[in-house]
């Protein structure tokens, strides 16, 4: 079984840049996206779409 650091699709946490502390948990492909992800997702605390950045 592969170790966590060698997973091809590790679980990541996306945290809102609006400062609300809201988070999404997702998976990403290390091969296609080796850098940190930045996605535009819905933040229900501020009730609008904002950028979510990958945290480690």
Q: What are 7-55's pLDDT values in tens digits?
A: 899 999 999 999 999 999 999 999 999 999 999 999 999 999 999 999 9
Q: CA–CA separation, 3 vs 22, rounded Å?
A: 28
How many domains does the structure of the chain reveal? 1
Give the CATH number of the domain where residue 43 resides. 2.20.28.120
Q: CA–CA separation, 46 vs 56, rounded Å?
A: 24
Give the model's pLDDT for residue 3. Answer: 60
Residue 34 belongs to domain spanning: 4-55
pLDDT at 6 over 80: no
pTM equals 0.83
DSSP string covering 11-43, please?
EEEEEETTSS--EEEEE--TTT--S--EEEEEE
Q: Higher pLDDT residue, 56 or 26?
A: 26
pLDDT at 2 over 60: no
């Amino acid at each position: 079984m592969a170790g966590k650091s060698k997973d091809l699709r590790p679980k990541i946490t996306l945290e809102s840049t609006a400062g609300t502390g809201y988070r999404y948990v997702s998976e990403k492909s290390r091969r296609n996206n080796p850098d940190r992800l930045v996605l535009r997702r819905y933040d229900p605390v501020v009730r609008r779409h904002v950028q979510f950045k990958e945290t480690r």
